[in-house]
Amino acid sequence: MRPGEHPDAVDEFDEVDASGGPRGAHRAPRSWWSRWWPFVTVLVVFPVLAYGLVTWLSDWDGLSGVELPSFSQSEDDTQEPSAGATATETATAAPVETPAVTQEPTPEPVADLTRPVSVLNATSRAGLAGGASDRLEAAGFTAATADNWDGDDLETSVVYYPAAADVATAQAVAAALGIATVQEDAAQAPDGLVVVLAADYEP
């Protein structure tokens, strides 16, 4: 369709302005202040308002009687460890003490009052061995006999015993007769204890 052949009638909107100038209003460019003042308002005005609101609320009597909630440790934090605690935790919490082993003391050797005791007089005083034998029987010995010594002269009285097991018995004999010397000698006392009374013996 060529220009001028439009079927509708020509109206005022089809007429061209004879002046040939631009139609409509033209606005001047916006200044920097007009673009930035909203942001400045937000950055300055809002903090001032917020500060004023907080100050007003802190001075308001309506908040003086308000108690803030307190936080305490929950029961779950203070409860005892569960039964499923690991062996390491249990060992750390309650170490097991090993009981000390008490060693039984070694019993003291006991004198055997039934052991044969032969009392021999190595002096010239008569009846010395018989009196010593009576002292041993009074001390509890049941197999004491008296006789004379036929060996070499001794300076001090002595109690001979055949083995280490008889040391306690020999010491008991020496204590009963007041003799200071006891000596292990199986040759002098092969079958029991032998007491040789020398000149130092006091009946």
Residue 195 pLDDT exceeds 80: yes
Is residue 201 over pLDDT 70? yes
Q: Which of 97, 93, 74 is nearest to 85 (CA)?
A: 93
The secondary structure of the chain, three-state, reads: CCCCCCCCCCCHHHCCCCCCCCCCCCCCCCCHHHHHHHHHHHHHHHHHHHHHHHHHHHHCHHHCCCCCCCCCCCHHHHCCCCCCCCHHHHHHHCCCCCCCCCCCCCCCCCCCCCCCEEEEECCCCCCHHHHHHHHHHHCCCCCEEEEECCCCCCCCCEEEECCHHHHHHHHHHHHHHCCCCEEECCCCCCCCEEEEECCCCCC
| Mean pLDDT score, 56-63 | 66
Which residues have C-beta within 8 Å of that of residue 77, sequence separation ≥ 6?
A: none
| Contact of 132 with 201, CB cutoff 8 Å | yes
- Confirm whether pTM is higher than 0.75: no
In tens, the pLDDT along 162-173 reads 999 999 999 999
Provide the pLDDT for residue 8: 60
pLDDT band at 121 (very low <50, low <70, confident <90, very high): very high
What would the pLDDT profile of 173-188 be if each residue is shown by its tens digit?
Answer: 999 999 999 999 999 9
